[in-house]
Every structure is written in structure tokens, then in C-alpha cells.
Structure 1
Amino acid sequence: MSTPQHDLQRMLHGPILSTLLRLAAPNVLAMVMTVLVGIAETYYVGRLGTAPLAAMALVFPFAMLTQMMSAGAMGGGVSAAISRALGASDVPRAQTLLQHALVIGLGAGILYSAIFLIWGPGFYRLLGGKDAVLSEAVRYASVLFSGALLVWLLNTLASIIRGTGNMRVPSVGLVATALLQIVLGGVLSLGAGPVPAMGMVGVALGHIIATAAGVGYFFWYLVSGQGRLTLRWQGFEMQASLFADILKVGATACLSPVQSVLAILIFTGMLAQLGTEALAGYGIGQRLEFLLIPIAFGIGVASVPMVGMAMGAGDVARARRVTWVAGGVSAFNLALIGAVVTLAPDLWARLFTSNEAVLGYARQYLVTAGPAFPFFGLGLTLYFASQGAGQVIGPVLAGTVRLVLVAGAGYWLSQHQGTADRFYELIAIAMVLYGLVTAAAVKWTPWGAKA
């Protein structure tokens, strides 16, 4: 029977690829469920009409930003800090980091919710939302972002458990949460039996209820003492050094998803000028691009504790080997997806609409951007692995390069009557550049045992 000490030794000294795949498997399953949630919710909204679908395209980047910051960025900082402490055999420090991580998740969730409840309508208007589309976006987002605190807590709790090397429990909780979200989203949005159809608001309510259930499960697990760490508040004293241990990685890493979403928002705002059909079609393609993130996430978060524990134990060479293996596995996975949607774009696009004008834009995006997906996966997974080493500045700067390219070239296209296919080519070039620059940053950034 596997024990925590045995698992630690396997992560520190076991074969890299098999250990990584074993850790990644439950994460990938959980992320596949996240993909299914995205497909289901887009299907429900597609049934409501073109205006709601376009409204979802306006709100969706900010909704995904919640997930990306809480799970991938700050969550990575949480997992990395805990795994480095465990790698150095400092369990008391890891125990105290758990409590500090929850304080950070609570504060960030409240702040995030306040920002989008207050300024969200202005953001959607800036992106080109107006009339019925803007009205639908505001109604949907006002409910969705009232639950941002729950999303931050869910992902913070999952990241704490992952930091101990346990990928099974977070995955079980997230899979159950996703299944509940799919069911509730459909019932509440489209109606069933005595339950009235609530439209886009029903999709948002389903998300909030399911997330609350997931938070309850993770709290129970940590309080019950079944894991390597146990949640206790007695004698808790906040320490600046422990907040810094998490935030030096997590806060810096949060810049990366902000840059990614800004790049998407630039395209969304520019394509909104081409009409509702163009915006809705791009929204379908954009949805797939965002759903690539959870797939790369499944590999990336598995590498964080492996890299972090190796760094905590002073084995920098192993930490780097884990990083490159994880990047290669992720690039391979996304290359397969890119090949499928490039050769058969309708397999994805027709899930959400039968409008030929909308389908035309969606096909253009998928065929053009699909071949660049593996570079996107490579860069994103290397970004996660770098969190384990406490060295995220290079990958974040790679995101800056991508954003500058998108903003500069996108502006030029908008001033020269650029067509949709030219914008899609720019997306593909930006993905390739992001992957290559991130790889170069990881290769040339020195990693020290005390990182």
C-alpha cells in the first residue's frame, strides 16, 4: 500500500516520465471534465440564440481569468511553496503555508468579485457589446462573478492538496463538481419539469452551486486529517515570510493569465467591429483556445510538486529534467488536438451553431490556429514547471512578448481593414512565438537550490 513517505521518495527519485504520467492522469481526467463543462454551457447558450452566444464571448475571457489566476497562477504558487517545504522535509512549514494560502485565496476572491461586479459592464461595453448582447452579458456576469470567491477557494484548496503530491483527491472533487455543474446548468438554463428556464442566469447559478459543493468537500478532507497536511486554526499567526514564499511566485505568475486574456480581449474588441456573426464565430473558436489551457494544465500542475520537491531537496538537475519532459508531453497532446480541428473543423464548430455565417468564421479560426497549438501547450506547461522552481519571470516575459505582438500587429491590421483570416494568422504566430520564447527563457535562466 502506498504511503506519503513512499510517494515522496518516488517523486524525488522515481523514473520521471512514468511518475509524471501517473500524477497527470487524474488531473487530465478532471480537466477533460472542465472541457465538457465548457462544451455543455456553450451548447446551452447556443440554444438561446446568437445574441446570448455573442454575450458569452464577451464575458468568457474574464470568467476563464478567474480560473487561470486562482488555479494556474496563484494556485501554482501555493503548490510550489508547499512542495518545496516537503522536499526539504519541513512539514511544520508546509502546515503553516496551508493556512496562509487560504487567507490569500479568501482575500483574492473578494477583490476579484468586487472588481467585476462594479466595473464589469464597462469592460463589456469597451469590447463592443451593445443593445441585446450587452444586456445579456451584464445579466449573466452579475450572477457569475458574485461566486468568484467560491472559485478562488475551490482552486486554492485543490492546489494545497496537489502540493503534497496527491492528485487523486483534487481530481475526484473537481470531476464531481463538473458533473454537477453540467446537470444544473442545463436544468436551470433551459428548464426541466417544474424548474423554469432561466436562460444565461441559470448557467451562472449552476456554476455557483456546484462550486460551493466542491469547496465543502475539500474543506472536509483537510479538516478530517486524511491527507499529509491538516487544516487547523488554533495558534495560527500570520507571518510575512510565508505570505512572501507563496506570493513571490503566485503574484508574479498572475501576470501571465492577465496577459493572455488581454491578448484575447484585443482580438475580441477588434472582431466585434466585423459584426455579431463574426464575434459569435470567433467565440466558438476562442472557446477551444481557452479549453486548451486546462489540458496543458493537467500536465503542468503534475510537474509543479515534482519540480518543487526536487528543488527543495537540492536536486536542480532532476527539476530541469522533469520540466522538459512535462513540456514535451503537453506539446504532443495539443498537437493531436490541433491536427483534428485543422483537418475537420466542423467536429467542433457544429457543436454550437448551424448558422453558416458563424460557421465560416469558426472554421477559419480552427484551420489557421490549430497547427500552432503544440507551441502554446509547450509554453504553458513550462510556465507551470517554472513555478515549482520559483523562477517564473522568464515565462511571464514570454507572455509579454506575445501581448506586445498581438497589440501592435492587431492595431496595424485594424487600421488597414484587416480581414478575419489575417487576425487568425496573427493568433497562430503569437502562439508559436510564446512557446519558443518560453522555452528559451527556461533554458537560459539559472536555477539554484535556494530559488
Structure 2
Amino acid sequence: MNSNAVDPRFAAILSGPILPTLARLTLPVIVVILAQNFVAVLEAYWVSQLGTEAIAAVALVLPMVLLMGAMSGGGIGGGVAASIARAKGAGNQALANELLWHAMLLAVGFGIIFTAAALLGGPLFYAALGARGGTLSQALAFSGWMFGGSVIFWMVNLIGSALRASGEVKLPAMVSIGGAVLLIPLSPVLILGWGPVPALGIAGAGIATLLYYVGSLIIYVRWLRRGDGPLHLHWHPARAAPVRAIMGVGLISAFGAVLSSLTLIALTGSVGQYGVEAVAGYGIASRVDNLMIPLLFAVGTGVLTMVSAASGAGLHHRAWAVTKLAGLLGFLGAALISAFLLIVPELWMDRFTSDPQVFAAGNLWFRIASPFYCFFGLGLMLYFAAQGLGQMRGPLMAGVIRLAITAGGATWLAAHAAPMGSVFAAAAAGTVAYGLVNMLAVWTARPRGV
């Protein structure tokens, strides 16, 4: 293919109707997310059969696994997606292929870092979180398998980001569905044992997950090596320029994922000062975030691809049109969820608890914090658009301000025995600031003449 010609399969991203094109890029990602969540719920059920220590062990390891996923999928993965979509938009296929190769080099580097951190620091980290005896040994067993394959985990996630950025959204969806079909019987067999297969306990959960990623990587590499898709994986000499193109967006995005995690950890710790029922109620209510954020992420990946591609092609008016639509969709979509929670909170809370104190705490969150979800939806969509524009300083500042207002405010209020509603109000204020600062940042970074 002429390195200066736009891939015909990519042309619709540059010239097709914006909303239908965004839907085409988004729907397969939603399928991926639903498949992954379904498998995660099933795996949690099988692990629960091993007892309380096993459940606690997974809970201790999970935050680090989620952080690795956020950094590889939305952080560094965002940098990979933005740079490849920009190269494809400019018609530079050779650069897109070179960026894919350098993404694999970065996957090896980051994977080794996570593996080393888990092996060397895992015992101290899990013990600091309260793990002792059997819980600590099971946490280390699970962590050993999950992070022992970190390089493979990173490769699969960065390849997925690269494929979606090139317009190939069906293959990652098919791989995820196939993996779900494989893990449904494989996880319980390895965890609990069956026939000649011995029960491996919590290690079986880690092994099953690792086997899924190994299979996914084999499929991806074979497909990319064929050379008839939108990207071709082959050797390139290591150069600094492609790495800078990826990390210019990816490194700040990865740091943003860390800021988000710190915000949630601090908020949860502050609510914990009000008792077990308060934590339970907040935990149940905030589970809505676990449904809302992945859906916003799915739309955001399409926004990132379209904005990056249009910017690379010099179609600045189109990039700005996608950005404005993304902000509107994020705001309205999250507002609808907020309205539902305000009107009928019992439809959510009653699914998880019958304790009136727990219900009251969750309902308080819905009344004070959830009405401002619309600003989070706005901010997150504009965050993805900023990745596409290659302008990440503003969104980074938005994350810092949200952390300062939410974590700082909630911690101070809880320490001074303020009403729990004021802690939730601090979270709401941080959310509003996050949305508005992102909006201001994207507005000031918009392309000239639009």
C-alpha cells in the first residue's frame, strides 16, 4: 500500500456520518466489556467456594490488577491508539506499523516492571493491607500467576488498543467472546478440580486468566503477521521518535489513571470512618460506577480514534465536531443514570441489601453525589478527545484538582466528624470541577479556526 494513501477501510472514520461511525466503533467494545465482566463475576463465584481467605486474597490483589488494566488499556494504550489513528489518518501506513512494533517493546518493558514489583514488593504490600497467614499465602499465589504473565497482559491490551485505533473493532470482540466461552468451563475445573485435573485453588483462577491472554496473544500475532489487515506486525529498529509519540499522550494518561485510583481509595477510607453500614451503603451505591464507567470507556475509545484520525488528516473541523458530540453524549448519558437513581433508588439498593441503615447510606449518596454524574460523563468524554488532540496537560490538571477536592475535602471532613453527607458533597464538588476543568482545557486546546 502507498504509505501516503489512506487505507480504504479507514476512510469511513474520516468521512462517514459522525454518530453512526461512532456507534460502529463503540458497539463491539461494549461486547468486549460485557464479556469480560461476565467472566469476572463467574470467576468471583468459583473463588468464593474456596472460603473467606480466598475471597479476601483476591480482594487484596485486585486493585493492582485493575491499575495494570487501566494503565495498559486507557493509559499507555490511549497513547498507542492516538498515535496510530493519527498516522492512519495522515495516510502513513508505514509509521502506523512502526508504532505497533514499538508498542510491543513498551509492553515488554512495562510488563517486566509490574512482574518485578509483584514478586519483590508483593509480600510487603499485601501484608501492609492486612493480609496474614493463609490469606497472605493465597494472595501471593494468585498474584504470582496474574503478574507473572504481565508482559503478555500488556501485549494483548496494547494490541487491542492499536486494532481499535485502526478501525478493526470486530477481532478484539471475537477474541473476548471466545475467551469467555473458554473460561466458563476452564476456571471452575482449574480452581475446584474435576476428574483427573487436580484442584489448584486460587492459583487456578490466575492460571485460567493467563491461559486466556496467551491464547489471545497467539491469535493477534498470527493475524497481524499475515499483513492483509489494517496493521502489520514486523521487526523495526528501535527509535526514540515512535516511543515519544506514544508516551507523549500515554504517560500522562497513565498518571491520570493513578490519580483516579487514589481519589477512590481516599473517598472509601473517609466513608469508612462512619461505620460498616456506611461503607456497605456507599459501596453498593457506587457500584453503579462500575457499570457506567465501562460504557463511557467504550464510547471514549471510538471518540479517541475519530478525533486522532481527523487530526492526523488535518480535518480539524471534524475533530472538533466529534469532540463536542462526545461531551454532549457523556453529559446526557450520565444525567439519565442520575435521574433514574434519584427517582427509584430502591430498584438498585434493594437488589443488594435489606438493612435500613445500609439503604439510607446508599440513598444519601444517590441524593447528594449522583446528580453530578453528568459532569463526570462530560469530563471523561473530553478526556478521550484530549488524547486524540494530543493535549493532555489540561486533563491531568483536572485529575489533580479532583483528587485535591474530593480526597482532601473528604479526609478533612471525616476527621472532624462532619455529617456523612458533607463527605459525599466533597465528592460531588470534585466531580463538577473535573468536568469543568476538562471542558476548559479542551476548549483552549481546540484546533485553530474552529
Residue of structure 1 equivalent to 2:328:
328
Q: Distance in 2 between matches of 1:412 and 1:128?
A: 24
Residue of structure 2 equivalent to 1:22:
24
1:159–1:418 Cα change, 3 Å: same
Q: Are 2:80 and 2:162, in contact at CA under 8 Å, matched by a contact in 1?
A: yes
Deviation at 1:292, TM superposition (A): 3.1
Q: Are 1:44 and 1:186, in contact at CA under 8 Å, matched by a contact in 2?
A: yes
1:441 and 2:441 matched: yes
Q: Are 2:81 and 2:165, in contact at CA under 8 Å, matched by a contact in 1?
A: yes
From 201, 204, 211, give the equivalent of 1:209: 211
1:36 and 2:27 matched: no
Q: Could you say which structure has the larger radius of gyration?
A: 2
SS, match of residue 428 in structure 2 = helix
1:294-333 matched pairs, under 5 angstroms: 294-333=294-333
Residue of structure 2 equivalent to 1:400:
400
Q: Distance in 2 between matches of 1:321 and 1:220?
A: 37
Deviation at 1:251, TM superposition (A): 1.0
Q: Distance in 1 between matches of 2:9 and 2:164?
A: 12
List per-residue Cα deviations over 1:145-188 (Å, max 9, x = no partner): 22322221111111121221221112222333344345444444
Which amino acid counterpart does residue 299 of structure 2 have in structure 1? I
1:200-239 matched pairs, under 5 angstroms: 200-233=202-235, 236-239=236-239
Q: Distance in 1 between matches of 2:347 and 2:186?
A: 25
Residue of structure 2 equivalent to 1:389:
389
1:101 and 2:96 matched: no
Residue of structure 2 equivalent to 1:374:
374
Which amino acid counterpart does residue 215 of structure 2 have in structure 1? A
Which amino acid counterpart does residue 162 of structure 1 have in structure 2? R
Which amino acid counterpart does residue 228 of structure 2 have in structure 1? Q
List per-residue Cα deviations over 1:55-107 (Å, max 9, x = no partner): 54443332211111101111111111111111111111112111111101111
Backbone CA RMSD of aligned residues: 3.4
Q: Distance in 1 between matches of 2:146 and 2:18?
A: 40
Aligned length in residues:
445
1:246 and 2:263 matched: no
Stretches of structure 2 that go unaligned for 5 or more consecutive residues are: 1-5
Deviation at 1:395, TM superposition (A): 1.1
Residue of structure 2 equivalent to 1:10:
12
Q: Distance in 2 between matches of 1:166 and 1:138?
A: 37
Residue of structure 2 equivalent to 1:263:
263
Which amino acid counterpart does residue 380 of structure 2 have in structure 1? L
From 69, 72, 90, give the equivalent of 1:70: 72
1:66-215 matched pairs, under 5 angstroms: 66-127=68-129, 137-189=139-191, 200-215=202-217
1:378–1:350 Cα change, 3 Å: same
Deviation at 1:209, TM superposition (A): 2.0
Deviation at 1:424, TM superposition (A): 3.8
Which amino acid counterpart does residue 387 of structure 1 have in structure 2? Q
Q: Are 1:188 and 1:206, in contact at CA under 8 Å, matched by a contact in 2?
A: yes
Deviation at 1:134, TM superposition (A): 5.8
Which amino acid counterpart does residue 324 of structure 1 have in structure 2? K
List per-residue Cα deviations over 1:130-157 (Å, max 9, x = no partner): 6776665455434332232222111111
Q: Distance in 2 between matches of 1:298 and 1:356?
A: 35
1:401-440 matched pairs, under 5 angstroms: 401-417=401-417, 422-440=422-440
SS, match of residue 254 in structure 1 = helix
SS, match of residue 167 in structure 2 = coil
1:184–1:276 Cα change, 3 Å: farther
TM-score, length of structure 2 as denominator length: 0.86
Identical columns (%): 38
Q: Distance in 2 between matches of 1:104 and 1:439?
A: 31
Which is worse superposed, 314-323 or 347-356?
347-356
List per-residue Cα deviations over 1:195-244 (Å, max 9, x = no partner): 566554443333222222222221121112231221112xx211111111
Which amino acid counterpart does residue 380 of structure 1 have in structure 2? L
Which is worse superposed, 215-224 or 269-278?
269-278
1:200–1:359 Cα change, 3 Å: farther
Q: Are 1:70 and 1:156, in contact at CA under 8 Å, matched by a contact in 2?
A: yes
